Amino acid sequence: MAQIIDGKRISAEIRAEIKEQTEAFKAKRGYAPGLAVIIVGEDPASQVYVRNKKRACDEVGFYSESYELPAETTQDELLSLIDRLNADENIHGIICQLPLPRHLDETAVLLKIKPEKDVDAFHPYNVGKIMIGDYNFLPCTPAGVMALIKRSGIEVAGKNCVVIGRSNIVGKPMAMLLLHANGTVTICHSKTRDIKKICAEADILVAGVGRANFVTADMVKEGAVIIDVGINRLDSGKLCGDVDFCEVEPKASYITPVPGGVGPMTITMLMQNTLTAAKIHGK
């Protein structure tokens, strides 16, 4: 039976550490780290994320601002808001919740956020820094995965690591972080041949494909570490990951559940990035 990697517990530990560091930061600098969150439109999932981010800021002692803009907000209006937040000395991190309404240019929005305030690490400048291994911020979900792996005592160096999914938000940066940790990395995607065979050779398998129960027992090596990044809602309303947990868990050495695995880590790592941004500010 696999050891369950408890994302809730590890997330709580890291948030307690961030809160302690924030108190020391405020005592030294005289102000709190500040995060601004922008949401355009009324996507229910995005609204939940924004509320959770506000709650996390309160928990660790950050200053926060939320901007809930109507769906018909224009490109110029959104970019003007970002310009104002870029210039605001009280704001050290800016995130714009994706996806945006179709009439808005996501690329232009991400480019407008100053790299030093880009706590989602989506700006090409920060993506390039991650590529060469000289970064200030990491994308929050891959960073959360690495924290789970490290705090569970799992060694990456020399391991055969397989990432399913090649998105800019999870798959690509996840592969790069595993590579930086000296893993041997393969990325699988919709055009990959013999995907079951490749996955079955992985010592560490990270699933971020966005398909419920995609990873089955025949795709998993005995004793593998299984990290499930997926969050999918079944017709029954139940949440599940990209990994068929009941099938795979008996074969794995470690596995993350859904919910309660990677999910809690994402906002926690956003808090870590915001604290880092505040520490950089004014140096």
List residues with catalytic annotation.
53, 97, 120
Cβ–Cβ under 8 Å, residues 4 and 255: yes
**Calpha distance 161→192 (Å, rounded):** 15
**Calpha distance 18→93 (Å, rounded):** 15
> Strands (DSSP E) along 110-258, which ranges?
160-164, 184-188, 204-207, 225-228, 232-233, 239-240, 254-255
- What tokens were used for 30? 């005289």
**Calpha distance 233→118 (Å, rounded):** 30
C-alpha distances (whole Å) from 143 to each of 138, 159, 174, 198, 217 are 6, 18, 8, 24, 26
Radius of gyration of the chain (CA): 19
Bridge partners of residue 93, in order along the sequence: 35
- What tokens were used for 273? 């990035």
60 exposure class (CB count in 10 Å sphere: 0-12, 13-18, 19+): buried
